[in-house]
Amino acid sequence: MIKRKSEMKVEIREKMRDGNGNVKLQHIFDTDEIMGKCRLFSRITLEPGCSIGLHQHEQEEEVYYILSGTGTVDDNGEIKRLGPGDAIKTGGGQVHSISNSGDEPLEFLAVVILF
């Protein structure tokens, strides 16, 4: 299955998970287009100063893969900076958040896999 960029839905969420500013989600594939146990497969863009607030993942795990920009993550209480090529995985009851701590847009792939 090939899906062109022009066919992908774009969604803007304000204060996602009680974060700051707007979050742009480009849904690469919708859940009804994936046969596996996947709840989200999107490219996410955070403008400088924007964030996704602290949230928990139970019975699932979420992977962020940084494409461009720099971000700060709270990985279950451990604060780290991430840049292009870095990844984070959170699940099994753990919590995380991410914020754009740079001067350019932070773009990353986000995939939520269900147990």
User: What are the boundaries of each domain within the chain?
Assistant: 5-114
pLDDT tier, 115 (very low <50, low <70, confident <90, very high otherwise): very high
Name which of 110, 111, 103 is nearest 50 in CA terms: 103
At 97, list the tokens: 């958040």
Domain 5-114 belongs in CATH node 2.60.120.10: yes
Averaged pLDDT, 21-42: 96
The mean predicted confidence, pLDDT, of the chain is 97
Global pTM value: 0.95
What pLDDT score was predicted for residue 106? 98
What pLDDT score was predicted for residue 14? 98
Share of the chain above pLDDT 70, in %: 100
What end-to-end distance do the CA atoms of the chain give, in Å? 25
